[in-house]
Amino acid sequence: MEKVAKIAEKKAAQKQMSGEKQSKRKYSGKKLLLAVDCIIFGFDEQGLKLLVIKRGFEPCMGRLSLMGGFVGDTESSEDAAIRVLHELTGLEGIYMEQLHLFSSPLRDPGARTAVMAYFALIDIKSYQSQMSDDFQARWVPAEEVPKLIFDHNEMVEMAKERLRYKAALHPLLFELLPDKFTIPQLQILYEKLYDTKFDPGNFFKKIRSTGLLVRLKERDKLNSKKGAYFYQLDKEKYEEGFNTFLNFVYKPRFKNKVQKKSSVKK
């Protein structure tokens, strides 16, 4: 994935080093700013969504961008990311993780700015749009993200890849659903994310067998006649089981076999 240096000609250039002594390198006093950008995902019936804002200040005022902000003097980048997310959505306690530091000296036309990108998963319904009027925020489909400023599209692509990677190994996608959800709902989410179809019976058993879910009394009668049971995460098992989830897509396969898709009834 994020290999910085290629493995080629490993031992190629073992140049003789100038005998310069170890010393703290000196750099020009050029100011470097540290910022955070949040790649915020949500999910609705249409599919995976990305939350973007209309930039309210120069440079690039009026254009679409990720929500971001500078890291304050008394903040870590995590603090800043949590603050920025809260400013936009009003939400707290959200799943968030470091994605990648973007630090090319050319990336921002203005001052030199390094950006720590975070990706976050929220329940789209818990987000109150009126809170972000100031930011002119909107949800855009994650499959067709419009042109954003700077390198923000690159960040989004990386975040989507990371999400697909992690969600195949860890029970991450629950973060995109409301507290109570049905297994068919979850299946749609997986199917959208991986652009594939799963056999409903097998999907059901696979999810149940994780032991991470608690079945509730109620059924969701909106989407089918029979109705599907609502489930909730078993918080305790969720924490434990985070690292021992199931491979949905990135299955370890020894031979270069074609990835089989589960059948689906038409």
Partner DNA sequence: TCAAAAGTGTTAAATGTACACCCATGC
Partner DNA sequence: GCATGGGTGTACATTTAACACTTTTGA
Span 226-245, contacts to DNA by CB under 7 A? 226-229
Q: How far apart are CA 125 and CA 147, in angstroms?
A: 25
Q: What is the 8-class DSSP label of residue 220?
A: E
Looking up tokens 């304050």 gives 72
Q: Mask of contacts with its own copies, 169-208, x by CB under 8 A?
A: x-----x---x--------------------------x--
Site for DNA in 129-158 (CB under 7 A): none
One residue of 204, 238, 245, 250 binding DNA per CB under 7 A = 204
One residue of 208, 235, 242, 244 binding DNA per CB under 7 A = 208
112: buried, middle or exposed (CB in 10 Å: 19+, 13-18, 0-12)? middle
- Provide the token pair at 15: 């140049």
Minimum distance of DNA from residue 143's CB (angstroms): 23
> Is position 217 an interface residue for its own copies (rule: CB under 8 A)?
no
Of the candidates 59, 60, 143, 151, the one whose C-alpha atom is nearest the C-alpha of residue 101 is 151
> Is position 21 an interface residue for its own copies (rule: CB under 8 A)?
yes
Amino acid of residue 160: K
253, 227 contact by CB (below 8 A): no
Minimum distance of DNA from residue 221's CB (angstroms): 6
> Is position 111 an interface residue for its own copies (rule: CB under 8 A)?
no
What residues contact residue 33 under an 8 Å CB cut-off, 6+ apart? 70, 111, 112, 113, 114
> Is position 260 an interface residue for its own copies (rule: CB under 8 A)?
no
234, 214 contact by CB (below 8 A): yes
One residue of 54, 125, 235, 251 binding DNA per CB under 7 A = 251
Nearer to DNA among residue 153 and residue 210 (C-beta): 210
> Is position 62 an interface residue for its own copies (rule: CB under 8 A)?
no
One residue of 146, 223, 242, 244 binding DNA per CB under 7 A = 223
> Is position 123 an interface residue for its own copies (rule: CB under 8 A)?
yes
> Is position 15 an interface residue for its own copies (rule: CB under 8 A)?
yes
Q: How far apart are CA 87 and CA 83, in angstroms?
A: 6
